[in-house]
Each structure stands twice: as structure tokens, then as C-alpha cells.
Structure 1
């Protein structure tokens, strides 16, 4: 996800369901989503965040990483909110056990 093949501002909405915890270069992925989103557009989705559910954290480290499904480093709910707030005009974020969900709007 380091270089999406789309023009700047090509999309009204970008949806990422359970993706960011798998990307090796997460910063590049965040940059690309922001780049292809039009002004006023919405970025929403969900993915694993560490530190919310001990069983999930254990399973990710001992099973999913070994299978290549998840790639550290991982966000915490706090770090994710701070990261999104640096880029987006509005951010709504919540957690359900080891998952964070979010809805962000890019400034006009």
C-alpha cells in the first residue's frame, strides 16, 4: 500500500477493514490514503490495536505474526487517535476489545 495507482483526491470515501495492522510500512499507507482522499472526504475503518485485550495481543504475537497476517509495529488506541488527529479535521474513534474503529473527515 505504499503507492496507490490513483490520482490525488480521487475518492470521496476510503474504507479500510482490518488492513493497517498487516501493512509493513504503515506510515506510507496513511500518507497514500490521505493523498487519494478528496478535500472533505471520509476515511473510515477498523483494525487491531494493541493493549486493549490481552488474549488478542497474545494471539496476534504468537499466531498471526508467524503466519504473516499481521506486521508490527501496532498502534494503540491512543497512538492511532493522535496520528489521525494530525491529518484530519475531525476524528471519531472507539474500541471494541482489541479492535479500533474510526471515522475521519479531511479538511475542505
Structure 2
């Protein structure tokens, strides 16, 4: 239960700060920067580190690389889709789908490369 509370507290705080920056900041680019704050990844690494130690926390951090690369795909997709369609809901949904697909594809590609390297050795 403590794990859920800490995740809720950290994630909620990150979302709240991002929103406040969006509303209060005269520099709207800061809103986008704060919107990309990796709160979920940091919380997952923190909680895994506390529960199971640094080795497992490092595995979570390593895996998050694929999600963050997918995040870049998501941002580019949403940006371009908004420019072309002017439909924010469609753009967000398309970005989320491509985030998931690209994250899984990149992870699978890396695994395939590692298996190929191991087979050669």
C-alpha cells in the first residue's frame, strides 16, 4: 500500500507542477519541457530500488530507454498530426498507439541484435 501511495504522490506532484508551469509561466516552452518530465520512470526506479535493490532498479531504468525513445516518436507524431489534421484527440490517440508500437519494436529489435551477437560468439 505504501508503494501505491508513493507512486500516487510523486506522479500527482509531477502532473500538478507541469500544469502550474503551463498556466503560470510566460514561457510556454517550459510547459512542454515539464510535460515530458519522466516522473513515472523515476518513481518506478525509486520503488524498485527500495524494494529490491540497485540491480533490479537498473533493469527498470534500462527498459525505460525504449519507452522514452517511443516518447520521441509520440511527440513527433502528435506534432505532425496536429499540423495536418487539427484534431487534437485523434493526434493524441495516434501518438499513444505509435509510442507503444515503436517502444515494443525497438525493444524487440535490440533483443534480436543481442541474440544474434550471442549466437556468433
Q: Which has the higher helix share?
A: 2
TM-score by length of 1: 0.30
> Quick check: which has more Rg, 1 or 2?
2
Q: Which has the higher strand share?
A: 1
TM-score by length of 2: 0.27
